[in-house]
Amino acid sequence: MSAYVLVHGGSVDGTVWNGLRPLLEMRGHRVFAPSLSDERMNGLSAHIGEVCSVIKGNGLEGLILVGHSYGGMVITGVADRLSALIDRMVYIDAALPDSGQSLFDLFRAAGIDPLSFEGLAPYPPYVEKIVFNPWILATIPKAYIRCTLSVFAPIGLMARDRILSRLDEDHWGYFEIPSDHKPMQSMPGRLLEFL
């Protein structure tokens, strides 16, 4: 069985996975869903470090690293640091950054004002730019699950276009689910099929 590390998005905590977590555990998987520290006080680097600590502290290897929404930024940074421990990455309606981008940069690249969304403010993790080695991430099999009814549709569409242009070279899989932005709550059984 596998170990899953589930990384939540902004303005929520690890309990957002409560509908999905038992479904994975019933199948014998180990599941870790840490709550990231306060986004008003800590930045992206701190959140990456927190998830790395969970992985190292529990002796995890061969794991499946899952990021939802802003969590896509976090898992990208974690994979850059701990690629040898990760078997697969899954982005769920998530930020898919290039090195040197922040979450807010992704919104602007999609033609969206990030401040137009409730709960998004220029907190440290959202404006901190991530720096990583794309060659390291290219070696890890990855999947992107775009939620077709998401309020963040432009971000998912931008990720889709990027992924479909390089499916073969970067070990990508691309899937769509007819869900709102939080399928782990609205469609946990369907999401489980992809995981």
Catalytic residue IDs? 69
CA 149-176-1 angle, to 5 degrees, is 120
Distance between CA 144 and CA 130 in Å, rounded?
A: 19
CB 63 within 8 A of CB 33: no
Residue 72: closest CA among 50, 102, 52, 100: 102
Distance between CA 159 and CA 67 in Å, rounded?
A: 14
